[in-house]
Amino acid sequence: MQIIDTHCHYNLEPLYSGDPFCFKIKEDSQILQMNWQKHWQNAQKAGVNKSIIVGPGLSSSEKAVEIANEEECLYAAVGIHPERANKIIDIDQAMIALEKLANNKKVIAIGETGLDYFYLNGESLEELTEIKKRQKDLFIGQIKLAQKLNLPLILHVRDKEDLAYQETIDLLEKYWSFNKAIIFHCVSGPISYIEKALTLQNSYFGFDGNITFKKADNIREIFTLVQKTDAKKILLETDAPYLAPEPHRGQICEPQMIVEIANYLEKNLQTNLEEIYQNSLRAFEI
């Protein structure tokens, strides 16, 4: 079995150095004794031969580039997550910083970027309007940067309702010229959104450990739709340290767990893993 983890975070704790950060981890957990090098070694032993380290912010993007330059089969994506929009004082300056990082030869994509309205609650209408505007401006900036540098774009889109999904499609149709791949990372959302995303040229869809969750019928429905429409658009990812698959749900997702996700897809959803491997090579032009 050959596997490419197309979205992981060796650049974030606790994978980076074993610091628990915001996670609740038992003091005797082996995770606290590990660093990204050890996690990468374990992933390779499990069958992962390439991984893309994705940056959700400027500092983590810098770490992604540093790590990727230490290992031949690790690559980086640099970007700013939509939830960080309010922390960016000057979006134009942030794009300049991202472009500088993206000029490194190990950077093969821009992202993760997009729209995330999932946790927007309690704010006034005025505050909500401003937050959404800043997310859109940050998203548009990264769309334009990806096109300028001729790189694939990794999307993070999430909402409790349909708005973020619809606005994502609207912005892509307005600003993206489709020269490179658009990766819908950890894909979710209404079926109508997926149907529109499938019509976009060079669109790909990343599936993570949450597809194994018992109540994840929506994710499995999306997977089935993509597989029936065009199986060459399916990618496999962990989003480690997040979204550990069953039976590890609620724990730190270790990159080696991608094998369990792959086995689940092959057994329960009749997935061709070699095809997914080839999809990954093609999407990121590795």
Report the CATH number at residue 147: 3.20.20.140
Residues above pLDDT 90, as percent of the chain: 91
The pLDDT of residue 233: 98
pLDDT tens digits for 177-205?
888 999 999 999 999 999 999 999 899 99
Q: Please, which pLDDT band fits residue 124 given cuts at 50, 70 and 90?
A: confident
pLDDT(72) > 90? yes
Tens of pLDDT, residue by residue over 75-118, are 999 999 999 998 999 999 999 999 999 999 999 999 999 999 99
pLDDT of residue 1: 79
Question: What is the per-residue pLDDT across 263-286, written as a single tens digit (0 to 9) for each?
Answer: 999 999 999 999 999 999 999 999
CA–CA separation, 223 vs 234, rounded Å?
Answer: 8
User: How many folded domains does the chain comprise?
Assistant: 1
Q: Give the C-alpha separation, 225 to 247, whole Å.
A: 25
- Mean per-residue pLDDT for 203-221? 98
Mean of pLDDT over the chain: 96
pLDDT at 123 over 80: no
So what's the pLDDT on residue 106? 98
pLDDT, tens only, 133-187? 999 999 999 999 999 999 999 999 999 999 999 999 999 999 998 889 999 999 9
Q: Whole-prediction pTM value?
A: 0.96
Q: Which range marks the domain in which residue 73 is found?
A: 3-284
- Interval 4-31 mean pLDDT: 94
